Each structure stands twice: as structure tokens, then as C-alpha cells.
Amino acid sequence: MKDQKYYLSLIEKILIKCQNILKDTKPKKINVKKNELKINLDYKLNKAICEELRKTKIDIISEENNNISNLSILKNKKNYWIVDPLDGSTNLLRNIPFCSICISLVLNRKLEISFIYDISKHDKYIAYNNKIFVNGIKKTFYRKILNKKSSILVTGFPHKYNFKKKLVNFKKYNKIRMIGCASLSMLGCMQGNFDWYQEKNIMLWDVAAGYHFNILNNCIVHKFDKNKIIQEVSLGYCK
């Protein structure tokens, strides 16, 4: 097993490749499958990321893998990468400024390194050694625990969402926001833009990195199961 410096250096190398792809490739819709839109950059970024990560000889759970492969890795392996090559594909296609690249490394079934790149703002977030870094600078985000009645809930409706069931009691919160990017929604909770994140039928790769940042920031966690691909997540800074 390599040390953290190796993995961090590899992530930096991956970021440069991804930045070049984003610079040189115009977003284009490829298809819509089961109400989920895919664009050319989903596949291009995934290929570039996974080509580098395979050099570590650690298995990869990715949005662009098949479900059987992802479930097998999650069930049987202790070490694996979790990759969302493009969180917020529709936003990028429509020039809505909330989209990101997410990579997490799990060792011995524990989140060790997480990386989120805010594509629009060009900000780099890295979590490792129980610390949070933004653009290379160590950060601490002090959050007060609020009452839900005075808080902002950030949420979303993923393509697997069941609209026939009432899954969130929106009346508990003062305001509701949706930005179409789970990872940046969760970073927004950490940074104080929002106060609580809740979403059901969201995928592991959408939320793993964001979860890592928030637990390092001492958030309250009601729901998150690291052993499931399809997640229900409820966490934040209010009660």
C-alpha cells in the first residue's frame, strides 16, 4: 500500500487532466436513460480519472461502472476508490454554476482521503488526516447548532426519487434550497450556506466525499450507511 503523499499527488495529476478535458471539450448531451441525463464529459472524465486510479491496483466504485461490479467491490473489498466524475451533469450542460468532480479513497473500510473540485469556482477541497484543506490552506468551519425552524434545508430529487411518498417534512425548516449537485450541497452545509442536507435514493458516489468533509467538521449525522450503494442521507447542523 502506498502512503498518503502518493495518493494526494495522484489526485493532483488527475485534476490537471480533468481541467484540460473541461477546457477543451464542449458539453454535449449523449442520452437520457431512466430519467438520468448523460453528457459526453461524464464518460471522458471518468475514463481519465480511472486510467490513473487503476495504477494503484485498488478497485474503483464509479457512477459509470455497472451495478454488479460496484456492489461486489463494496461487499467484498476493504480498500477501494469512490468516483463521481461529474456531479451535476445537467448543470454543466445548461451552464448552471454547480457541478463538481468527486474522488474518495477508502482504506480498511474507512474514508481516508476525499477530494471535491468545484468546476465553476475552480476551488479544490481535500480531506485527509482528519483535516480539511481548501486550495491548499487548512480550514476550520465553525458551525453553531441551529433550530430547524430557523434553518435552511438543501435537498434534491434524484432520478430514483419516489414522488408518490412524502420523504421529507419541508415544513420543519425555514427555507428550502436545491442546487442539483449533492457534493456542493454538502460542502455548503459545512461552510454555512445551508444548515441541513437530506436526500433519499441518492447514490454513494454522489455523497461519500461530502459526508467525509462534514463528519470532520463535527456535523450531526442522522442517516448514512457506508455499506450501501443507494443512500438515504440526513446530516447537518441543526436539531
Beta bridge partners of 232: 200
Percent of the chain with pLDDT over 90: 84
CA 87, CA 59: separation in Å to the nearest integer?
20
Close Cβ partners of 142 (under 8 Å, ≥ 6 residues apart): none
Stated pTM of the model: 0.94
The DSSP 8-state label assigned to residue 238 in this structure reads B
What residue spans define the domains of the chain? 4-139, 148-236
Nearest CA to 198 among 227, 166, 164, 229?
166
Q: Using an 8 Å Cβ cutoff, are 111 and 117 in contact? A: no
> How far lies 161's CA from each of 6, 8, 226, in Å?
38, 35, 20
3 state DSSP class of 175: strand
The topology (CATH level 3) of 148-236 is: D-Maltodextrin-Binding Protein; domain 2 (3.40.190)
Q: pLDDT (tens digit, 0 to 9) for every residue of the chain, 239 residues total?
A: 688 999 999 999 999 999 999 999 999 998 876 667 889 999 999 999 999 999 999 999 998 888 899 999 999 999 999 999 999 999 999 999 999 999 999 999 999 999 999 999 999 999 999 999 999 999 999 999 999 999 999 998 766 666 566 656 788 999 999 999 999 999 999 999 999 999 998 999 999 999 999 999 999 999 999 999 999 999 999 98
Identify the pLDDT of residue 66. 86
* Among 74, 79, 76, 73, residue whose Cα is nearest residue 57: 79
On whether the CB atoms of residues 182 and 207 are closer than 8 A, the answer is yes
Q: Which CATH architecture has domain 4-139?
A: 2-Layer Sandwich (3.30)
Give the cell for residue 108. 480498511
| Largest pairwise CA distance in the chain | 49
Which has the closest alpha carbon to 70: 234, 231, 232?
231
Give, rounded to a whole angstrom, the gap between the first and last alpha carbons of the chain.
Answer: 41
> Could you tell me if 98 and 206 are in contact, meaning their C-beta atoms sit under 8 angstroms apart?
no
Q: Report the alpha-carbon angle 145-193-160, nearest 5.
A: 95
Instruction: Say if residues 217 and 90 touch (Cβ distance below 8 Å).
Output: no
What are the cell numbers at 183? 457534493
